[in-house]
Structure 1
Amino acid sequence: MNNASKINTSRSQELFAEAGRLIPGGVNSPVRACGSVGGEPLFIEKADKSLIYDVDGNCYIDYVGSWGPMILGHRHPEVIKALEKVLKTGTSFGAPTSLETELASLVVDMVPSVEKVRMVNSGTEATMSALRLARGFTGRDIIIKFDGCYHGHADTLLVAAGSGVATLGIPGSPGVPDAVIKNTLSIGYNNIDAFTDVMEKMGDKVAAVIVEPVAGNMGMVAPLNGFHEALRELTAKYGALLIFDEVMTGFRVDKGSAQGLLGIMPDISCFGKIIGGGLPVGAYGGRADIMDKIAPVGPVYQAGTLSGNPLAMAAGVATLKEISKPGFYEALDAKTEKLVTGLKKAASDAGIDFCAGHIGSMAGFFFTGGPVNSFDDAKKSDLDRFARFYRGMLTKGVYLAPSQFEALFVSAAHTDEDIDKTVSAASETMKGLV
């Protein structure tokens, strides 16, 4: 890696070379690759609270948080205790357990629009299943998404996706036939006029509109005032369903998720990450009349052997109980505000074009003057400057996502000292980017 002169990463390099012989690209998810920032991925050995440690013994303040789910920090005692209890009884039965109902009850109680919920194993499964349900419920085919929003790697959704696709420079994906995506339309995020125009022309043919309520796969991009209100109004007018992909924002930006914070009631919501407490999980839920179209009570089929497995359910229950405690989100928001304010000051002091913001503990920054309201805006960022910033922060013990087009996450385990160290590292690194 380019930072090898300052920190030793020799064991990570050895493991990456070995992985490359056995695993495509040496990684099991493209977002873990570091080619776009001029390096190779670190191999992680352990984590605790706000810190992660690589196999060479280097310690980093972690703002990736396993890409969002570690809102309590790593190895939270209550989550570990819940997992240890399950390990004494069994890890998977392929049959119902009371933990599934307990987690479902918590989700229904906390999220305004959800009356029933179905557990799956990943965010991709959740969004894919939600769209099948929407098509089955409405009897229509067309799906509308928004440029830069990534909803998993299901064929129908790899159109103008963000995140890993954007980082790798892949326009969509080979292997996805035109016939599969012919009923998927993608519109500019936050573009109310374009959405209104499309709905006026074909709204009665649209099965669903799916959106990240706070975009997190083109970097963190907040919705403009009126954007979600327009989605809600026009989907209701034309009989289409509104789907909030809250895999990233669910329980991250607010106890009631983004919809609770924004005051918007979608028809279907998709979840993942936090509801599994760091274990593989996904879920989709919504109005009872819609959810009751799913087999076995309805005709829309969806199944999964490991869905609702007791380990993920136990970790999810423990996590949701912890984040429900009074003052949790207020404290987390204050930490994130302190971090974002510090990053902006560091860039300003260095005279660098930079913009940053946050909603709850989900934050993002761009090496451009901004504002960034869409994927086209995000792509104006100075990617070379981001890459140098990423490498510089790594040498100073700060672990960020290796892509300009990813959000960063603050956890309850981050301390004021962590934030201060991060801002100090950013200030020093920014000065070297001029």
Structure 2
Amino acid sequence: MVQTSAELTRVTSESLLDATRAVVAGGGSSNMRNLGIQTPLVLDRSAGCRIWDVEGNELIDVNMGYGPHLFGYADPDVLGVVAQRLRLGAITGIPHRLDHEAGELIAATFPSIEQVRFANSGTEAITSALRLARFTTGRDLVVTFEGHYHGWSETVLRKAAITGGGADPHGAVPGAPGMIPSALSYTLQLPWNDTEALERLFAERGGEIAAVILEPICGNAGVVHPLPGFLERIAELSASNGALLVFDEVITGCRVALGGAQELLGVRPDLTILSKVVGGGFPVAAFGGGKEIMAPLARNEAFHAGVFSGNHAAVAAVVAMLGKLRDDPSVYETLDLIGGELEQRLTKTFVAAGRHARVVRAGSVISVALLTERQDGVPAYDAGVPLIDFAAHRRLQDLCQRAGLYFHPNPLEPWFLSVTHTPDVLDRVVGTIEESLSRL
């Protein structure tokens, strides 16, 4: 059959991705976007819980931009406010009335926060918060936990230590080529949920620790909940040793509950990092705490800056999103019901297919990963990752993507649900998984 000129020049995801790679390194501006997808996928638009590629194919999305879209893509309530702000000026570099509105909403939503500073990304906010912690305490050491991700800055990005016997706090390995190895010399890492290792480190070096930073519910190694009492013990040891407790709620903030994991779990940090949901999908982040802790910034003794930090368009998105959530907090009941139904149905689906799988949920955040063998209970990070069948998961992801369901090819990346994942959508999600498993 002879192809017409229109057919010969028709844009496909593959052809456009090839063209993009000529001008954008790797084809996308994040390594996570360029990693693991076997069948090329280049998007044209998104709405609700659906995405459309440049070929016109429609897919259900459970990645949802890595989590910010509680109300689905292109939520008109947030877009309308931001669109109006764009017409009135998106950035001036001068304080704006919206700064007060957004700051007041955050302080009312998160009891641990009295004052905030805005940034453009979680990485920026975390870098500034840890610098503030070091300034406040006069100490250098920061404690992190294995499997937790706190951005890609020089002092916290380290190679995951999947040891099975716990992380070595002194064995810092840079997480990316080109990093300065010595930049990690003041960052110590512990295994998640290991109280003995935590107590041992504080006994040895408690007087040197400026801050302990963690995801209160780990979401970057799949969903891994803290064991009962573990967060409380971290808080006790931090306080008794004069270190600051920093909650990285980039994922959990306004996602697992209106006031984040700190509301859900009842543990109050000294500093909190926010992003994703708080901006409804717009590039904004914040860090904040009590007035005393934030005072060095207020007095210009500590340093934090950024031309686009707190720009009016991004802060308008914060006002719109938090205003909507506070007006109707019942959305979390809806999301929990959606998440609970999908968790149960997926678990049954994997069992029926004879496949070992890990399905773990925190509200509307769900970990889904194929395993090489059976795994009971909620594992610690170092016990869980070696059992994940990365190759099989990637094959499953590709089959599902071809059938109209998108989730991230990395099984450590959780699924995120929205109110637009209605019962008929869940039927399609589960049906696609069932069909794809039969072809795996």
TM-score using structure 2 length = 0.91
In 2, distance between residues paired with 1:125 and 1:215? 20
1:384 equivalenced with 2:391 (yes/no): yes
In 2, distance between residues paired with 1:375 and 1:179? 25
- Residue 342 of structure 2 corresponds to 339
- Residue 32 of structure 1 corresponds to 33
- Mark the CA change 1:376 to 1:160 in structure 2 (over 3 Å): closer, same or farther: farther
* SS, match of residue 434 in structure 2: helix
Aligned AA (2:308)? L
Aligned AA (2:397)? Y
- Residue 292 of structure 1 corresponds to 295
1:410, distance to aligned residue in structure 2 (A)? 0.3
* SS, match of residue 296 in structure 2: coil
* SS, match of residue 155 in structure 1: coil
- Residue 6 of structure 2 corresponds to none
Aligned AA (2:364)? S
1:376, distance to aligned residue in structure 2 (A)? 4.3
On the 8 A contact 1:150/1:161 being kept in 2, the answer is: no
1:402, distance to aligned residue in structure 2 (A)? 2.0
1:423, distance to aligned residue in structure 2 (A)? 0.9
- Residue 4 of structure 1 corresponds to none
1:430 equivalenced with 2:433 (yes/no): no
- Residue 20 of structure 2 corresponds to 19
Unaligned runs of 5+ in 1: 1-8, 163-169
- Residue 257 of structure 1 corresponds to 260
On the 8 A contact 2:174/2:180 being kept in 1, the answer is: no
1:40, distance to aligned residue in structure 2 (A)? 4.7
Show the 5 A alignment for 1:152-191.
152-161=151-160, 172-191=175-194
- Residue 322 of structure 2 corresponds to 320
On the 8 A contact 2:159/2:176 being kept in 1, the answer is: no
1:420, distance to aligned residue in structure 2 (A)? 1.1
In 1, distance between residues paired with 2:248 and 2:80? 30
4+ long deviations beyond 6 Å: none
- Mark the CA change 1:310 to 1:41 in structure 2 (over 3 Å): closer, same or farther: farther
- Mark the CA change 1:375 to 1:16 in structure 2 (over 3 Å): closer, same or farther: farther
Q: What is the root-mean-square deviation in Å for CA atoms of aligned residues? A: 1.6
In 1, distance between residues paired with 2:439 and 2:196? 42
* SS, match of residue 88 in structure 1: helix
In 2, distance between residues paired with 1:69 and 1:211? 19
C-alpha distance after superposition, 1:175-204 (max 9, x if no partner): 222221101111111111111111111011
On the 8 A contact 1:143/1:184 being kept in 2, the answer is: yes
Aligned AA (2:406)? Y
1:404 equivalenced with 2:421 (yes/no): no
In 2, distance between residues paired with 1:171 and 1:393? 34
TM-score using structure 1 length = 0.92
1:317, distance to aligned residue in structure 2 (A)? 1.4
1:111 equivalenced with 2:110 (yes/no): yes
On the 8 A contact 2:141/2:186 being kept in 1, the answer is: yes
In 1, distance between residues paired with 2:104 and 2:348? 43
1:81 equivalenced with 2:88 (yes/no): no
1:83, distance to aligned residue in structure 2 (A)? 1.5
In 2, distance between residues paired with 1:171 and 1:63? 31
Unaligned runs of 5+ in 2: 1-9, 162-172
Provide the aligned length of Structure 1 versus Structure 2: 415
In 2, distance between residues paired with 1:304 and 1:34? 29
On the 8 A contact 1:47/1:53 being kept in 2, the answer is: yes
On the 8 A contact 1:393/1:426 being kept in 2, the answer is: yes
In 2, distance between residues paired with 1:171 and 1:388? 30
In 1, distance between residues paired with 2:24 and 2:51? 23
On the 8 A contact 2:258/2:329 being kept in 1, the answer is: no
In 1, distance between residues paired with 2:15 and 2:321? 35
Show the 5 A alignment for 1:9-158.
11-35=12-36, 37=37, 39-158=38-157
On the 8 A contact 1:124/1:153 being kept in 2, the answer is: yes
Structure exhibiting the larger radius of gyration computed from Cα positions: 2
1:171, distance to aligned residue in structure 2 (A)? 6.2
Give the alignment partner of residue 225 of structure 2, picking from 219, 222, 225. Answer: 222
